[in-house]
Amino acid sequence: MIGVALKGLLGRKLRATLTAIAIVLGVAMVSGTYILTDTIKSAFSTVFTRVYRNTDAVITGKSAVGEENGNNERETRPTLPASLLPRVQALPGVAQASGGIADRAQLVGRNGKVISHGGAPALAFSYQPGAERFNPLSLQRGNWPSGSEQVAIDASTADKEHFPPGQRIGVIARGPEQFFTIAGVVKFGGVSSLGGATMAVFTTPTAQQIFNKVGRYDSIQIAADHGVSAQQLVREIAPLLPAAAQVRTGQAEAQKQTNDTNGFLNIFKDFLLAFGGVALFVGSFVIANTLSITITQRTRELATLRTLGATRRQVLRSVILEALVIGVLASLAGLFAGLGLAKGLNSLLVSFGIDLPQASTVFATRTVVVSMLVGVIITLLAALRPALRSTRVPPIAAVREGSVLPPSRLARLGAYPAAATTAGAIALLLLGMLLSGASTGTRLLAIGVGSVVLFLGVAMLAPRAVPALARVLGWPSARFGGIAGSLARGNSIRNPVRTASTASALMIGLALVTFVGVLAAGLRTRFESAVDEVFIANYALTSSDNFSPISIASANALRAVPRVEVVSGVRAGNGRAFGSKVNVTGVTPDVGRVISVKWQAGGPRTPELLGLDGAFVSKDYAHEKHLHAGSPIALLTPNGATVALAVAGIYAPPKGGAPYGDITISAARFDQLYTNPQNVYTFIDMRGGVNAANTHALKAALAGFPDAKLQTKSQFKKNQLQGLTLLLNLLYVLLSLSIIVSLFGIVNTLVLTVFERTRELGMLRAVGMTRRQIRRMVRHESVITALLGAAFGIPIGVVLALMVGVAIKYAAFTVPVGTLVVFVIAAVIAGLIAAIFPARRAARLNVLAALQYE
Amino acid sequence: MSFRDGATGRAAVVAAADVTRRYGEDATAVDALRGVSLRVLEGELVAVMGPSGSGKSTLMHILAGLDKPTSGSVEIAGIDITALDDARLTELRRDHIGFVFQFFNLLPMLSAEENIVLPLTIAGERPEPEWLKELLARTGLEHRSSHRPAELSGGEQQRVAIARALITKPAIVLADEPTGNLDSKTSGEILELLRVSARTYGQTIVMVTHDPRGASIADRVLFLADGQIVKQLGTTSAAEVLEVMGALQ
């Protein structure tokens, strides 16, 4: 019996392949994600292991606020006093110890712009002669830097930007651009790429100088004497350390840094896996539908088996076995397709400005196990209903033409299960939307689960809606498509369950794309109106990537420009108050002249009156911590100092985004408390407002700051939304995978339908329908199915976006009509593409053979 | 249970009593069978004849347990099949009934031999090599055994189907219009094969047909009209059958 089932599968290669593709794509996404993130993790691990290869112990600054992942850590972490180094060197077990600086410094290209490869960091290190054992870099050409005029840069920048040793290059550290002579070209051993990161290496005194760290180090690396263990060394060093410092073994530090990046990569992995999950969910619809059609077409065969004595269980097993084989083969194919997809995903990310280091491909056992399991289980689950259906094929179908399967127990309940499922989904969604007591996370979870259930519910209800809806959506076909269009409309209504199921797969992808589009439009509207409300300056200044902090020197350079009235920067950092982390911002007294917010306590003059001990807080924070004017706040800063502040005002930010953090103090106080104060943005007000002369004057003053970007209000809005636009486009690309899966669903259904209607098509050809008309008929049916998918999916997407918008509070409800029209057109085009292959097959039928077909 | 026939001492393989079958309800109801009783003895070849709509296919389906009678009883190999559930019916078909269909109903992806042994495969058994060889020889398929149905002629396909029906040595072979889809010459060959099988192996066969030549090979011919048996003939000729049929039309 197993042999019979397998031979049956072999006999239906095309159908099996069409079924499998739906799973291949989803599994490829899963395996590709694992391969990509594992490879990146391994690259990072190689990097960090190499950095601390010869280091037995490392002393670093310790933020009192708590460790944090992300780019800011380096810059906000407290530094170490240089006086610590000789005390460490004097310890008995220490063979060698060396202090170093690790910071960020951008290199300026020949075009006068900051060199940046896909958003990768611009790293800066110090070079200490005689401490080679601690140096992870190797010299490719030239020499290590010596003296305050020299720098060594990374090989990739040197080659791509044509900076050979001997040339001068601009570097941006803390202040304006400074020029150095390139002494040599270095490479980070071990990995081929550091993810496009640029590197600048200075002598230690130079690095201390340009990063405002004179008399300080970022880290001290220590090698132990022979016979002294790393743990022993750590124990010896620990008592010497000030409060804002910590010591770890080299191995532990490498592990910690690896873990930090892994934390980020795991989020990234889950993000990508979610799209694999969506593709598999859609794929399960496609498989269920394809198998279901196949079973209908095999009714005669299954019935014959039953008359020959096959039990229901045997029929069930043969269908399940078939699904199992398809699942295993498809998952295997997907697993290996993931290798290619990992590369594709990487290039996709690079094109979206996310460049991550790469090493040799990592193909973990976990990748194999998870991909295979997920693929096979989804296939089997999807096959369950068709398999149960196959057991209802009565033996008498072997001798009777067109016998109909008896309805299942579920079907006998009519529309109730579908209605109940949909109602359950709507209840969950409303709960997520309106349950104000719960956390945003809980509410989003309710909405997430609700949407999955909603998709199932709508898919179950869809067959009932298809006849009426297809008649409407097929009207243009019937009206303008001639006989082919009319027949196509009729065909799409002929088997509503099948059409509905095919359209449902597309519905999911379209709903998600719509959801993302509508939500993004809402966020955009809110943000823009927030900027309109807050931004009362003439110009804004940010770093060229729109989000990195920028040196205060750039703002200061503008103060001397004629006609400038106000230059006010906003510093940002973090701290700890009332037992939890807070965002802290620092503002100059005149900030009220460039940023306007509503005040619940205090007023527009509050920033002027902050002094050293005053603070203003956001409305939500005040509400959460029960603060009012005069309330004391004990703020712990990363350096370990606790300062006593008093609430001087409470501001109410607009919904689309706050210009300040939870707690805002004066810039003067901020600069005292934070190691490395920088502005996140600076606003400028000028006499005459925005005009060519003013713009020119400001730009001239910024000539020494290639990383500074001057912009007007509308440019600022656009630039700040760039991240959202980028994310939106990335989401569209990733969601297109599930739409492609559903397109294969349409292809499957059409191919199988054409196969089923062979005799009918032969008859149509015999009575004079041309091949072209046949092709057109299939195309029309495909487009009608795609439009049904859009008709179900787009409204669901709009509703989901509305609900999430309410749950997260930030989004306005805006329906981007233009975008939605584009989606409908895209659905039509998708339908036309899906029809190409089936239409060809239908038109190719030999009339005579088709008529004789039994 | 004993179904010994008084005259011959042979067991009755099929015993149907007062079988009726009504399709639909009330005004639109159609009575396909209105009280049919028949007995088929071991080794007998019985032909059921009748014009279209006479109920002969319905009778066949009910004898095979594919359809249930509205009233009356049907016993196959001494088992009352009207009371059986699906699982028991399946078992009965597997062990006691062989089928020959009008449209052959071969599995396209299996070879001729694989199709022949399919009922045993389903039952998880292996064919007796001697018996399989004998059947292949009898049906003239020795050299076609590895061919797929698509590579066989209509007559060859039906011979495969007959071998498939005989492979389990069932109590009864039910043949539903076995020549309905074949040309005249091939029909003759198939009927001859059925006749020889019945004689040589003592195989009980009930055949529904409207081919008068089919009836002529039978030990007994039952004529059905409007759901009732209206005439019975013993061994007869095609000419005589035609005459009776003419009278029934």
Task: Summarize pLDDT for B203-216 with one digit per residue, the tens.
Answer: 999 999 888 888 88
Task: Summarize pLDDT for B30-52 with one digit per residue, the tens.
Answer: 889 999 999 999 999 999 998 88
Strands (E), B24-168: 30-41, 45-49, 71-76, 79-80, 97-100
Using CA atoms, how far apart are residues A661 and A674, in angstroms rounded to an integer?
Answer: 15
pLDDT at B70 over 50: yes
Are both A602 and A618 inside the same structural domain?
yes
CB contact under 8 A, B108 and A11: yes
Annotated domain spans of chain B: 42-67+85-248
Decide if A22 is inside a domain: no
Q: Which of residues 375-414 of A touch B (CB under 8 A)?
A: 394-396, 398-399
The full length of chain A comes to 854
Decide if A624 is inside a domain: yes
Task: Summarize pLDDT for A547-578 with one digit per residue, the tens.
Answer: 888 888 899 999 989 999 999 999 998 889 99
Are both A670 and A742 inside the same structural domain?
no
B127: nearest Cα among B138, B117, B139: B117
Closest Cβ–Cβ partner in B94, B109, B123 for A8: B109
> Any idea what the Cα angle at residue A572 is, between residues A569 and A576, rounded to 5°?
145
Beta-carbon count within 10 A of A152 CB: 27
Are both A818 and A801 inside the same structural domain?
yes
Q: Is residue A601 classed as helix, strand or coil in its secondary structure?
A: strand
**What's A596's DSSP letter?**
-
Residue in chain B nearest A306 by alpha carbon: B90
Residue in chain B nearest A392 by alpha carbon: B86
**CA torsion, ordered A286, A292, A294, A295, to nearest 10 deg:** 160
Closest Cβ–Cβ partner in B86, B93, B123 for A307: B93
Residue B21's alpha-carbon distances to A14, A39, B71, B140, in angstroms, are 43, 71, 7, 40
Contacts 24+ apart (CB under 8 A), A368-372: A368/A31, A368/A335, A370/A30, A370/A31, A370/A34, A371/A27, A371/A30, A371/A31, A371/A34, A371/A331, A371/A334, A371/A335, A371/A338, A372/A328, A372/A331, A372/A332, A372/A335
pLDDT at A152 over 90: yes
Contact list, B164 vs chain A (CB under 8 Å): 308
Decide if A40 is inside a domain: no
Task: Summarize pLDDT for A814-854 with one digit per residue, the tens.
Answer: 888 999 999 999 999 999 999 999 999 998 887 777 766 54
Decide if A660 contacts A651 (C-beta within 8 A): yes
pLDDT score of A70: 41
**What's A562's DSSP letter?**
T
pLDDT at B126 over 50: yes
Task: Give the gap in angstroms from C-alpha A306 to the nearest C-alpha of chain B.
Answer: 7
Residue B206 pairs with which residues in a beta bridge?
A: B46, B174
Question: Would an 8 Å CB–CB cutoff place B189 in contact with chain A?
Answer: no
Mean pLDDT of A784-793: 95
pLDDT score of B46: 94
Residue A381's alpha-carbon distances to A285, A376, A385, in angstroms, are 10, 9, 8
pLDDT score of A41: 87
pLDDT at A358 over 70: no
Closest Cβ–Cβ partner in A308, A310, A396 for B61: A396
Q: What's the per-residue H, E or C state across A358-382?
A: CCCCCCCHHHHHHHHHHHHHHHHHH
Using CA atoms, how far apart are residues A230 and A251, in angstroms rounded to an integer?
Answer: 9
Closest Cβ–Cβ partner in B86, B107, B122 for A314: B122
**What's A177's DSSP letter?**
-
CB contact under 8 A, A399 and B102: yes
Mean pLDDT of B146-167: 92
pLDDT score of A844: 87
Are both A549 and A500 inside the same structural domain?
no
Beta-carbon count within 10 A of B188 CB: 17
Q: At a CB cut-off of 8 Å and minimum separation 6, what does A368 contact? A: A31, A335
pLDDT score of A537: 92
pLDDT score of A588: 93
The two three-digit tokens of residue A386, written as one number: 């068709």
pLDDT score of A72: 43
Are both A685 and A603 inside the same structural domain?
yes
ipTM of this predicted structure: 0.86
Question: Would an 8 Å CB–CB cutoff place B223 in contact with chain A?
Answer: no
CB contact under 8 A, B118 and A300: no
Are both A550 and A699 inside the same structural domain?
yes
Decide if A312 is inside a domain: no
Q: Is residue A523 classed as helix, strand or coil in its secondary structure?
A: helix
Task: Summarize pLDDT for B223-233 with one digit per residue, the tens.
Answer: 999 999 998 88
Task: Give the gap in angstroms from C-alpha B107 to the nearest C-alpha of chain A.
Answer: 7
Task: Summarize pLDDT for A115-128 with one digit per residue, the tens.
Answer: 887 667 888 999 99
Task: Give the gap in angstroms from C-alpha B7 to the nearest C-alpha of chain A.
Answer: 33
Question: Would an 8 Å CB–CB cutoff place A2 in contact with chain B?
Answer: no
| B contact test, residue of A4, A308, A312 with most B CBs within 10 A | A308
Are both A647 and A614 inside the same structural domain?
yes
Task: Summarize pLDDT for B170-185 with one digit per residue, the tens.
Answer: 999 999 889 888 888 8
Are both A808 and A720 inside the same structural domain?
yes
Task: Give the gap in angstroms from C-alpha A310 to the nearest C-alpha of chain B.
Answer: 6
Task: Summarize pLDDT for A378-407 with one digit per residue, the tens.
Answer: 999 999 989 998 998 888 888 876 666 776
Task: Summarize pLDDT for A446-457 with one digit per residue, the tens.
Answer: 888 999 999 999
Using CA atoms, how far apart are residues B138 and A780, in angstroms rounded to an integer?
Answer: 54
Using CA atoms, how far apart are residues A339 and A33, in angstroms rounded to an integer?
Answer: 9
Task: Summarize pLDDT for A26-41 with one digit per residue, the tens.
Answer: 999 999 999 989 988 8
Decide if A687 is inside a domain: yes
pLDDT confidence bin for B168, thresholds 50/70/90: very high
Decide if A154 contacts A122 (C-beta within 8 A): no
Task: Summarize pLDDT for A736-754 with one digit per residue, the tens.
Answer: 989 999 999 999 999 988 8
pLDDT confidence bin for B1, thresholds 50/70/90: very low
Are both A101 and A126 inside the same structural domain?
yes
The two three-digit tokens of residue A167, written as one number: 């040339």
CB contact under 8 A, A11 and B109: yes
Residue A772's alpha-carbon distances to A656, A783, A830, A845, A851, in angstroms, are 54, 16, 20, 12, 19
Closest Cβ–Cβ partner in B57, B95, B121 for A1: B121
Beta-carbon count within 10 A of B29 CB: 10
Closest Cβ–Cβ partner in B86, B105, B110 for A300: B105
Which of A261, A290, A312 terminates a domain? The answer is A261
Burial class for B156, CB neighbours closer than 10 Å (0-12, 13-18, 19+): buried
Which of A696, A711, A726 terminates a domain? The answer is A711
Using CA atoms, how far apart are residues A315 and A383, in angstroms rounded to an integer?
Answer: 13
CATH superfamily of B42-67+85-248: P-loop containing nucleotide triphosphate hydrolases (3.40.50.300)
Q: At a CB cut-off of 8 Å and minimum separation 6, what does A789 contact? A: A502, A503, A504, A505, A506, A507, A510, A742, A827
**What's B10's DSSP letter?**
P
Which of A669, A688, A711 terminates a domain? The answer is A711
Q: At a CB cut-off of 8 Å and minimum separation 6, what does A472 contact? A: none
Are both A239 and A127 inside the same structural domain?
yes
Decide if A611 is inside a domain: yes
pLDDT score of A667: 93
Contact list, A854 vs chain B (CB under 8 Å): 103
Task: Summarize pLDDT for A680-723 with one digit per residue, the tens.
Answer: 999 999 999 999 999 999 999 998 888 899 999 999 999 988 88
Task: Summarize pLDDT for A262-289 with one digit per residue, the tens.
Answer: 888 898 899 999 999 999 999 999 999 9
Closest Cβ–Cβ partner in B91, B124, B176 for A399: B176
Using CA atoms, how far apart are residues A688 and A695, in angstroms rounded to an integer?
Answer: 11
pLDDT score of A6: 83
CB contact under 8 A, B99 and A307: yes
**CA torsion, ordered A38, A41, A45, A48, to nearest 10 deg:** 170
| Average pLDDT of chain A to the nearest whole number | 88
A348: nearest Cα among A189, A118, A166: A118
Beta-carbon count within 10 A of B185 CB: 8
pLDDT score of A707: 87
| B contact test, residue of A7, A301, A307 with most B CBs within 10 A | A307
The full length of chain B comes to 249
Domain holding A205, by residue range, is 55-261
Please name the residue that has the structure tokens 């999950």.
A277
Q: At a CB cut-off of 8 Å and minimum separation 6, what does B92 contact? A: B65, B76, B77, B79, B81, B84
Using CA atoms, how far apart are residues A761 and A763, in angstroms rounded to an integer?
Answer: 5
CB contact under 8 A, B66 and A4: no
Decide if A517 is inside a domain: yes
Residue in chain B nearest A397 by alpha carbon: B66
pLDDT score of B249: 67
Decide if A39 is inside a domain: no
Contact list, A305 vs chain B (CB under 8 Å): 107, 118, 122
The two three-digit tokens of residue A507, written as one number: 């519905």
Are both A817 and A842 inside the same structural domain?
yes
pLDDT at B4 over 80: no
B22: nearest Cα among B78, B62, B81: B62
Domain count of chain A? 3
Q: At a CB cut-off of 8 Å and minimum separation 6, what does A33 contact? A: A269, A272, A273, A276, A338, A342, A345
CA A21 to chain centre: 25
pLDDT score of A76: 65
Are both A689 and A767 inside the same structural domain?
no
